[in-house]
Structure 1
Amino acid sequence: MPQTRFIGDPIAVAFDQPPLFAKQPSCPARLTWREVSFEIVANLQEWRDYGRRGRMANNMRPENLKKAAKRGSWGVGRYYFRVQVGNGRIFDIYYDRAPKGQAERLGSWYLYQEILPDDEM
């Protein structure tokens, strides 16, 4: 298992071609973290997590919870991408589908962690 460094910061992303559905994004082409832009040169891996967190974890009947865990439900879930940027660094980023209120209904992007090279272990 690779060594990682947790970051957990919000980021801005840009797409060469915007996703067809805002709440089901594809891998972005660029990310900006702490005012530094990174070109994404490779999408190494992607996965989804439709687990319900916090107050959302207990607001659904068990039979519906199984369905939602497979395909998600409105405002619940995360889309993860392991990406390599132009300088060779590897990051795990994710899109959190949860709205942050009336003004921010589309969710947010985060830089979850950096995958460290073997020589930094």
Structure 2
Amino acid sequence: KRPSCPDRLVWRGETFQVVTLLASWHDFGRRGRMAQNMRPERLTRAARLGSWGVGRYFFRVRVVDAAENGREFEFYYDRAPKDADDRLGSWYLTRENEI
């Protein structure tokens, strides 16, 4: 699961159109119990390439709202499945930046 940057996002009931991708990066670091379940010799490779269900893809974007006002947001996609019935991962808005 390697997501591309969405072309819009909904926050607090308002839809924002993404007009510019300002930055993107990933973090394949293991968190919580996932950090303990890998042999050390495999950990370096997994941190570089990722493993199934581990990792986050971050995006910083410029958006416009319905009134054409520009705003900037950061969000990420977490590849970790929540449970056996929800294996897709989730999106999280982390902050709005001042511009």
Q: Which residue of 1 aligns with 2:5?
A: 27
Q: Indicate which of 75, 79, 96 corresponds to 2:57.
A: 79
Q: Which residue of 2 aligns with 1:48?
A: 26
Is the aligned partner of 1:62 residue 2:40? yes
CA–CA distance in structure 2, aligned partners of residues 24 and 52 of structure 1: 17
Percent of aligned pairs with the same amino acid: 63
Length, aligned pairs only: 95
5+ residue gaps in structure 1?
1-22
Is the aligned partner of 1:94 residue 2:71? no
Q: CA RMSD in A?
A: 0.8
Q: TM-score, normalised by structure 1?
A: 0.76
Q: Which runs of 4+ in 1 moved over 4 A?
A: none
State the one-letter code of the partner of 2:93: L
> Which SS does the other structure have where 2:70 is aligned?
coil
Question: 1:66-92 CA deviation, whole Å, 9 max, x = no partner?
Answer: 000001000000000000101211111
Q: TM-score, normalised by structure 2?
A: 0.92
Q: What's the offset of the Cα at 1:116? A: 1.5
State the one-letter code of the partner of 1:54: G
CA–CA distance in structure 2, aligned partners of residues 34 and 104 of structure 1: 23
> Which SS does the other structure have where 2:48 is aligned?
helix
CA–CA distance in structure 2, aligned partners of residues 61 and 92 of structure 1: 33
CA–CA distance in structure 2, aligned partners of residues 38 and 102 of structure 1: 31
